[in-house]
């Protein structure tokens, strides 16, 4: 009987390991002078004049959004929990107001990769 309990505990521990490992990953990262969340559940991908915007919800159910690439904007990740990878990148300046001929740029933090969590 005791061996069954030990076996069950081992199996449950093995099943919980990926979730525990995920919890040990940092929940935020510093990019430039900004602190950004590293995980979220994707709620929406919204194309825009300056860049695509990814809208997510964190583990506390707080909604947040980030600029992202057109490639990520085309992915089928709505409803998926993802790990976010950021970098500083140039996008069209807000002062351009979407004018495609405007060449002004500004440097912002952009999500450049998402990894779907299992």
CB neighbour list of residue 63: distance below 8 Å, 6 or more residues apart: 43, 55, 56, 57
Tell me how far apart the terminal alpha carbons of the chain are, to the nearest angstrom: 33
The closest of 103, 106, 110, 104 to 36, measured between CA atoms, is 110
Res 94 pLDDT > 50: yes
The closest of 28, 47, 63 to 55, measured between CA atoms, is 63
For the segment 91-113, the average pLDDT, to the nearest whole number, is 95
Per-domain boundaries in the chain: 26-116
- Burial class for 66, CB neighbours closer than 10 Å (0-12, 13-18, 19+): buried
> What pLDDT is recorded for position 118?
85
């Amino acid at each position: 009987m005791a061996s069954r309990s030990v076996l069950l505990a081992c199996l449950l521990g093995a099943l919980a390991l990926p979730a525990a490992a995920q919890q040990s990953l940092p929940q935020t990262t510093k990019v430039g002078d900004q602190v950004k969340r590293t995980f979220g559940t994707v709620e929406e991908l919204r194309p825009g004049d300056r860049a695509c915007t990814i809208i997510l919800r964190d583990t506390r159910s707080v909604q947040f959004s980030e600029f992202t690439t057109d490639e990520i904007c085309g992915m089928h990740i709505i409803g998926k929990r993802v790990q976010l990878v950021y970098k500083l990148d140039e996008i069209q300046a807000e002062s351009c107001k979407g004018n495609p001929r405007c060449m002004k740029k500004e440097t912002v933090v952009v999500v450049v990769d998402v990894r779907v969590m299992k």
